[in-house]
């Protein structure tokens, strides 16, 4: 049950390898700088779990976040990480949700924080938290889609794009079944991440190429 994120979110709705398209970070950074009000409107719709947002709009929201002045971006909450890793009781998961939700108010596009908030709501007893699950699951799926469409991660010329180290770790775990990072190295302008991943009933080593935008 611990950190249960509801299986249906993880089903293969997105043909991410065949649709990988790369991310034009220069264009997105320019969009945020030149049209901050338009970016804020898109970000607000994302937070409200607006299902009419297109993949292009969601891409601008997620990858534009590091460049938007009103977001406290890149701040990794070590206290929350410890709470999340050690949570066992429903009361402890209620605390995880509260701390994660507070952090999401400042960094609403974080995949890592969204996962932790969902985990807290799923495994706790706070009814107000459980009432937010549909919203959080939609946001989770939207970020998952955007990252999946960014690249296939199979070769350095087509890396997966994320906006933080913590998002990278969560995405590798959720998409690839990575349970352990064995090492990493720089290649071209991205990272080559060596992981130990679940492959059926076995464990298998793999290299996944990732680029972090910040």
Distance CA 12, CA 83 (A): 30
Question: Which strand (E) or helix (H) includes residue 97?
Answer: helix 90-106
pLDDT at 70: 86
Tens-digit pLDDT profile for residues 49-105: 999 999 999 999 999 999 998 887 656 678 899 999 999 999 999 999 999 999 999
Distance CA 64, CA 181 (A): 27
pLDDT at 79: 85
pLDDT at 12: 37
Q: How many CA atoms lie within 13 A of 193 on its CB side?
A: 26
pLDDT at 23: 93
Tens-digit pLDDT profile for residues 113-137: 999 999 999 999 999 999 999 999 9
Q: Over 90: is that where the pLDDT of 36 sits? A: yes
Full DSSP string of 177-210: -EEEEEEEEEETTEEEEEEEEEETTEEEEEEEEE
Distance CA 45, CA 53 (A): 8
Tens-digit pLDDT profile for residues 153-205: 999 999 999 999 999 999 999 999 999 999 999 998 899 999 999 988 899 99
Full DSSP string of 38-70: HHHHHHHHHHTT-TT--HHHHHHHHHHGGG-TT
Query: Domain residue spans in the chain?
Result: 7-151
Distance CA 175, CA 150 (A): 13
Q: Over 50: is that where the pLDDT of 14 sits? A: no
Q: Over 90: is that where the pLDDT of 109 sits? A: yes
pLDDT at 17: 39
- Note the pTM of the prediction, 2 decimals: 0.88
């Amino acid at each position: 049950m611990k950190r249960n994120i509801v299986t249906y979110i993880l089903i293969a709705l997105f043909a991410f390898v065949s649709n990988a398209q790369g991310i034009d970070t220069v264009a997105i950074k320019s969009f945020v700088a030149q049209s901050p009000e338009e970016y804020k409107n898109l970000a607000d719709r994302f937070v409200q779990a607006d299902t009419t947002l297109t993949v292009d709009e969601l891409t601008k929201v997620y990858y534009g976040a590091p460049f938007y002045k009103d977001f406290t971006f890149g701040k990794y909450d070590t206290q929350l990480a410890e709470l999340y890793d050690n949570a066992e009781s429903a009361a402890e998961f209620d605390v995880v949700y509260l701390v994660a939700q507070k952090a999401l108010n400042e960094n609403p596009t974080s995949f890592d924080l969204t996962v932790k908030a969902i985990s807290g709501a799923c495994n706790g007893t706070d009814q107000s938290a459980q009432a937010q699950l549909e919203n959080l699951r939609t946001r989770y799926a939207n970020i998952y889609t955007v990252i999946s469409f960014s690249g296939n991660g199979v070769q350095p010329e087509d890396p997966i794009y994320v906006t933080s180290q913590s998002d990278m770790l969560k995405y590798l775990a959720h998409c690839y079944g990575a349970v352990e990072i064995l090492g990493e190295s720089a290649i071209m302008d991205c990272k080559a991440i060596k992981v130990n991943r679940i492959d059926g009933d076995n464990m298998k080593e793999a290299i996944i190429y990732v680029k972090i935008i910040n």
